[in-house]
Amino acid sequence: MTDQKPVLEARGIVKIFGQHRALDTVDFTANAGEVHALLGENGAGKSTLIKILTGAYQPDGGELLLDGAPITLRDPLHGQTYGIGTVYQEVNLLPNRSVSENLFLGRQPTRFGMVDRKRIDAAAKDLLSRYGLDIDVRAELSEYSVAVQQIVAIARAVELSGKVLVLDEPTASLDRNEVQRLFDVVRTLKAKGLAIIFITHFLDQVFDLADRVTILRNGKKVATQALNTLNTTDVVRMMLGKDVAFDHHPTALTGGPKGQVRVQFQGLSRKGLAPFDLSIHEGEVVGVAGLLGSGRTEVARLMFGVDTSDTGQITVDGHPVAIRNPAQAVAAGFGFCPEDRKLDGIFGDLSVRENIIIALQAKLGWFKALNRDDQVELAGRYAEALDIRAANHDMPVKLLSGGNQQKVILARWLAIDPTFLILDEPTRGIDVGAHAEIVRTINRLREEGLALFVISSELDEVVAYSNRIVVMRDREMVAELDGDAIAPDAIVQAIAGTQEARP
């Protein structure tokens, strides 16, 4: 693939923020008809490079060449006129307008000065059929799944630009089938000769889709290489500059003696979720596996009182407790790291310190205020224990990377000295280094005697830290795997429903 024609080329790009060199003389080339993956830990300079390639930032040094001719991009719109289009993780289209309007917004065909709706709809249908989508283009975009929205966004970007397509973490909120569907579209575009730049946190997807990879670390380029000459360990080592501590060859934990029962859920249910019984012991991690929409998150929300249960009861250390809202759950010693960190977890404008102490403060009540020294001490202790990387603890937490934000939420719950911790997708969308640390932290908390309930889509990960695995399918707990039975294959079978007959 090396003899291909370079389309977009960046030479010696430098970008400086304040005193920080975000990019230090980085070279990057996207060839026609290739998928070029861009990898790096959070803060390595991936998004800065992308923003320069699309025109959102202007470089402080170096030059951009398109088809060999130097160009200067004023803004992404200007980049689009040169043929450079971008699709972001969060689809930035108009959810409450129709699919066809989204595709043709800003360039609607008109008839007598009026928008020609029929022509738009026909053109949209024709356009999407080329992407293997046969949907009602007159329906609102928000009625479709994120995967379909992504494909619509890609179709729009390719229509508008058509030379270079930047995909910035397009798969972060998609399930496995949806990812495959998206990849089929990308492969078609590649065959048409587009240069595709692909950014993701999922290494297996990189190996699945990309031809070459460029790896950044601390604003410098580590390597650009063809992927068929590399394996996962090489890539991870280059990204981190060290060997990862996370065991990529999971071995099941031996069942071992468990402590006392910490929390017990009996017959808990809610409309649309079958009743379940579950007891979790001291020093035990119960992992939850299942596809998206299988009811995993709903179980967690019910346990924590985010949704109120219709039936069932909860006991903590043998005493029944009423949990009708999260405040009562916190009072009972529960903690919950929600799936959507930004929406339900982080107080973006508050400081790292305040984000760490907030749950403890809520638990203590309004009148037992933690004074500043207590807060500084607590935040310092847990930031160190979890290795939270922040210049200082008075900076707004929104300035931290995703992995560090996740650790801040974890620290928030550790600060209340919990008896039971629920983690919903604790490693989603965070970089490899922080990922390994979160997994290590889960193992450490288990050893320290905490009871944990961990939901994850990554089977290897669940297997690596769970004593027991609950498998969910169709909003029901369908299987429980214990001890030696814990293995990715067995989980897949249980999810697919081939091992156990349905009750």
Partner 1 sequence: MTRPTVDLRPIQPPLPRPRPLAHFFTRPQVIALVAVLLVNWALFPGFFTITWQDGRFFGSLIDVLNRGAPVAILAIGMTMVIATKGVDLSVGAVMAISGATAATLVTNGIPAPVAVLAALGTGILCGFWNGILVTVLEIQPIIATLVLMVAGRGLAQLITEGYIVTFSDPLLIFIGTGSFLGLPMPVIIAVVLMIAATLIVRRTALGLLIEAVGVNRSAARFAGLKANALLLIVYTFAGFCAAISGLIVAGDIRGADANNAGLWLELDAILAVVIGGTSLMGGRFSIPMAVLGALIIQSMNTGILISGFSPEFNLVVKSAVIIVILVLQSPISARLFRRLPGAQK
Binding site for partner 1 (CB under 8 A): 242-243, 245, 304, 306, 325-327, 329-331, 336, 338, 343-350, 354, 358-359, 361-370, 389, 391-392, 394, 412
- DSSP for 35-78 reads EEEEE--TTSSHHHHHHHHHTSS--SEEEEEETTEEE--SSHHH
- 190 vs 296, which CB is nearer to partner 1? 296
Sign of the C-alpha dihedral computed for residues 92, 94, 96 and 102 taken in this order: negative
Whether the Cβ atoms of residue 217 and residue 238 lie closer than 8 Å to each other:
yes
Minimum distance of partner 1 from residue 458's CB (angstroms): 20
Whether the Cβ atoms of residue 157 and residue 177 lie closer than 8 Å to each other:
no
Minimum distance of partner 1 from residue 351's CB (angstroms): 10
- 168 vs 424, which CB is nearer to partner 1? 424
The DSSP output letter for 142 is: G
- 421 vs 469, which CB is nearer to partner 1? 421
- 62 vs 396, which CB is nearer to partner 1? 396
Minimum distance of partner 1 from residue 366's CB (angstroms): 5
* Pairwise CA distance, residues 454 & 315, whole Å: 19
- 45 vs 338, which CB is nearer to partner 1? 338
Residue 318, C-beta contacts closer than 8 angstroms, at least 6 positions apart: 261
Provide the 10 A C-beta neighbour count for residue 50. 20
Minimum distance of partner 1 from residue 465's CB (angstroms): 15
Minimum distance of partner 1 from residue 358's CB (angstroms): 5
Amino acid at position 237, single letter: R
- 1 vs 327, which CB is nearer to partner 1? 327
Q: Which token pair is 362?
A: 């809520």
* Pairwise CA distance, residues 43 & 217, whole Å: 8
Minimum distance of partner 1 from residue 143's CB (angstroms): 24
Minimum distance of partner 1 from residue 409's CB (angstroms): 9
- 107 vs 444, which CB is nearer to partner 1? 444
Sign of the C-alpha dihedral computed for residues 121, 122, 124 and 128 taken in this order: positive
* Pairwise CA distance, residues 215 & 353, whole Å: 33
- 284 vs 424, which CB is nearer to partner 1? 424
Minimum distance of partner 1 from residue 242's CB (angstroms): 6
CA angle 198, 438, 413 (to 5 degrees): 125
